[in-house]
Structure 1
């Protein structure tokens, strides 16, 4: 078998994307969904593997800007649309695409690569670590009530229905103000706002069309929620479900007002939250967390493409001066010793021959990079080794983020 790996040509997109759809089960997407991904695909940053005229492998890399600890927005390659045809598995195609892709990302000068994994066990061998987690909940709104935050005047916040399309600009303005405050969020480039209002009828599974409410204070939009209601009835009456897609607010009062609205939608008894930060405010605003059935799973996977540039791009919660012995067999240019010196104002990271203080791999750096995974926790699992006494505590405290990193949506 002879295969060819090459940059995607625009005329090949339908065939290329068709291989992706088949690899994920073969169920056709709605026309508007397919058209959006067609528009968002950057062909010059996408690759395919071809066996004759048949596409047997796909991978893309969106141009992203990712928030990191300290509030800086850093270029990152959003690895996406990765697939290998079932007829061509175990032939090195995925490895060849990952190799080409990371070489390209390095050439583009982007210090980070990020992805969401359909199967989280795949990407560790390519140097990725789990950098963010997401919280989901099934809130029993027939029994759980809102506990308002002290001093928050919820009554001063007006919650009103708004057309999802007509209110898109107002919602994006709120989202944009939130990006720098939480690591892991994407500063959305033009076109990506459409993902928030994508609502194909065939994907609703009995729920309503997408709905939106705005939270306003003194005529200013300070938050929004997008959701759909799925009517259900049981022997005791209405048992509808509020499926929350997005919930963003600029202050605790606005958040509480929106949550109170969602818990109070008529003819419903469940509020289903998906993909929330693990420190989401709702956890501290409900009367009974057990009746919310919280669950946590992996979300954003991250790897440093250029260790020095990546570690210099963020700030650190406490002063740190450590020498890291990095192993990275898939991107060997990262291997060796790096001296990281930084604090809340900035950082420097350069190669050194000084003795190492900590030993870790690119996976562990990726997991800890956004501040959600403690280096000390990784050390407890044997994945980080302390070579100088005290270095682990120093670095673990410095790498931590005051708020949990969070990816707001997939890609």
Structure 2
């Protein structure tokens, strides 16, 4: 006898409490809780209620996502999804996903995106694995940064993360980076707090958050956010640098920041999470084998309106292809569409012409940002070529010059 309803702001504590319990029961630190309270959009959040008890949660943020070609496309950032362990296997998650995607469509958002705690869950709702992330753990006693010409002309200076001027510089640099790489989120007001969140109780033995700005001729061209540890062993100092974010708007500023991070006194290791899989860092380190590389899935993407989604991006090569799309969960997408586009734009709409490729909406989501190719999906048996030659041309067109990347979670 559960009831699904839109979240009332006064019920946020109980709603969020159900979410925390579902994810292990540990409470957020007060600063983190306050931030998520402020960022939650109640009108886009759903709660399942069994009497006075919240037994399910699902929310969405109103994002703009960068896509190939540089456009910022409205997208629902699906988040805070949970079902109480006492209420599993009753179709409650499905009911929330159904209501949520209907609402997203009504709002006119062509895309929905999420990060999955359990990737196996969301494929059945049409979400495809669209981006991956790289983690590194660099042994700086044996790895050096081979910086390009011009790096020495970049000046570095410490800046207080608490200084509003520092925050403005960080956000200006981030905003300039967004259109360049698919998968990035244009930060809405309030989201700038996420990068600088630094509650003392959450530092796990590290220093307070530090910031270094990269400048040339008075212009800020990059920044690094990081913390350090003061560990030691019998051999002496054995500290680490924990990198939160690094951005450089040109090769020299980017290399200067990494050279700095890998050269901090009394540290032997630099760790960084959630980097792009084509990070230029891989070509700056002198020994990539001692850089502890690891890759995993990250952003999952679902076209809510296939035609509008495919028309919102550009294509790396001219394409004219008819897609036979399967979509059991959002049947309005099922059927044939013709996609015609190039580097200047695209159109996509229903057609009765014979299909060239057959695939589900999940494969479109995986290939949409250029992170997975239609060719590799076909090799996995998830895309079928119906007209000889169609796969090669469409796969090339869907590609991206740079790998898609989600720089922070939500």
TM-score by length of 2: 0.99
Q: Distance in 1 between matches of 2:238 and 2:96?
A: 47
Partner of 2:160: 163
Offset of residue 43 of structure 1: 0.2
Name the SS for the 2:61 alignment partner: strand
Residues 8-47 of structure 1 aligned to structure 2 (within 5 Å): 8-47=7-46
Partner of 1:116: 115
Provide, for residues 236-265 of structure 1, a one-character-per-residue CA deviation record: whole Å limited to 9, x for no partner. Answer: 111111010000111000000000000001
Residues 142-291 of structure 1 aligned to structure 2 (within 5 Å): 142-149=141-148, 152-166=149-163, 167-291=166-290
TM-score by length of 1: 0.99
Name the SS for the 1:44 alignment partner: helix
Name the SS for the 1:315 alignment partner: coil
Name the SS for the 2:68 alignment partner: coil
Offset of residue 234 of structure 1: 1.6
Q: Distance in 1 between matches of 2:100 and 2:203?
A: 35
Q: Distance in 2 between matches of 1:120 and 1:258?
A: 34
Q: Distance in 1 between matches of 2:321 and 2:95?
A: 34
Query: Are 2:406 and 1:407 equivalent residues in the alignment?
Result: yes
Q: Distance in 2 between matches of 1:323 and 1:202?
A: 55
Offset of residue 201 of structure 1: 1.6
Offset of residue 11 of structure 1: 0.5
Offset of residue 189 of structure 1: 0.5
Q: Distance in 1 between matches of 2:211 and 2:89?
A: 46
Name the SS for the 1:107 alignment partner: helix
Q: Distance in 2 between matches of 1:275 and 1:68?
A: 19
Name the SS for the 1:81 alignment partner: strand
Q: Distance in 1 between matches of 2:230 and 2:337?
A: 57
Unaligned runs of 5+ in 1: none
Provide, for residues 202-254 of structure 1, a one-character-per-residue CA deviation record: whole Å limited to 9, x for no partner. Answer: 21111111110000101111000000112211221111110100001110000
Query: Are 2:145 and 1:132 equivalent residues in the alignment?
Result: no
Range that drifts further, 376-385 or 233-242: 233-242
Partner of 2:388: 389
Name the SS for the 1:323 alignment partner: strand
Q: Distance in 2 between matches of 1:323 and 1:239?
A: 58
Partner of 1:369: 368
Unaligned runs of 5+ in 2: none
Offset of residue 165 of structure 1: 2.1
Provide, for residues 336-367 of structure 1, a one-character-per-residue CA deviation record: whole Å limited to 9, x for no partner. Answer: 00000000000000100110000000110000
Q: Distance in 2 between matches of 1:20 and 1:208?
A: 30
Q: Distance in 2 between matches of 1:201 and 1:93?
A: 38
